[in-house]
């Protein structure tokens, strides 16, 4: 199918945001693994969950159906199919540079880049304790609890500016 139609679908997906981080689009979060518009002009969107059992998954799926459904109303596509697939596993390197920037401006420490290659990523040990404060940039920070408000986030405390902040945990 035409590239312009698929591009329109990607643009719609950029208007769907993580339910917990309202400025981070699901595209920048890296959960969309494939977009295909078939010969009947049905948009097939494949997404991978960030964490299995992530409660935000159903919200995201509904939001995608709704947002891309607007394209169907406009006649750009004829329908929407959202498939959740584990075939491409999410890892925190899938968060785009733009996504990392958004996390940072919202006061989150982005996850550190994983080392190694796809499928064989590892988390360098020092990065778990060496986290820069998103408020002041200090590395004099302490991990308070590895479990933040969601499984995906850890809470750190900055010893320089005395503010707590959340870090997106690296996930290989
Ligand atoms: Zn600080």
* Six-digit token string for 36: 């295909």
DSSP secondary structure letters along 111-162: PPPPBS-TTS-B--HHHHH----TTT----EEEEES--SSTTEEEEEETTT-
Ligand 1 centre from 137 Cα, in Å? Answer: 6
Q: How far is the CA of 130 from the centre of ligand 1 (A)?
A: 13
Distance 143 CA to ligand 1 centre (A): 13
List, for residues 59-93, the tens digit of each pLDDT value.
899 999 999 999 999 999 999 999 999 888 888 89
Beta-bridged to residue 32, according to DSSP, are 47
Q: What phi and psi values does residue 17 have, to the nearest 5 degrees? A: -115, 155
In sequence order, which residues have a C-beta less than 8 Å from that of residue 132 and are 6 or more positions away? 109, 138, 139, 141
pLDDT tens per residue, range 155-165: 899 999 999 99
Terminus-to-terminus CA distance in the chain, angstroms?
Answer: 34
Q: What is the 142 CA–ligand 1 centroid distance (Å)? A: 11
CA of 157 to the centre of ligand 1 (A): 8
pTM higher than 0.75: yes
The Cα angle at residue 124 between residues 110 and 144, in degrees rounded to 5: 55
Residue 128 confidence (pLDDT): 66
């Amino acid at each position: 199918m035409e590239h312009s139609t698929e591009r329109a679908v990607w643009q719609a997906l950029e208007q769907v945001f993580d339910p917990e981080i309202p400025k981070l689009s699901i595209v920048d979060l890296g959960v969309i693994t494939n977009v295909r518009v078939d010969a009947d002009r049905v948009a097939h969107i494949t997404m991978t969950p960030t964490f299995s059992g992530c409660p935000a998954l159903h919200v995201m799926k509904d939001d995608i159906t709704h947002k891309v459904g607007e394209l169907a109303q406009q006649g750009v596509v004829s329908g929407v199919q959202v498939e959740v697939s584990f075939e491409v596993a999410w890892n925190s390197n899938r968060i785009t540079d733009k996504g990392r920037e958004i996390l940072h401006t919202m006061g989150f420490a982005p996850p550190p880049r994983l080392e190694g290659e796809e499928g064989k990523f590892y988390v360098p040990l020092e990065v778990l304790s060496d986290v820069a404060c998103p408020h002041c940039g200090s590395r004099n920070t302490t991990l308070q609890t590895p479990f933040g408000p969601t499984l995906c986030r850890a809470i750190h405390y900055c010893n320089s500016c005395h503010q707590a902040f959340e870090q997106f945990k690296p996930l290989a």
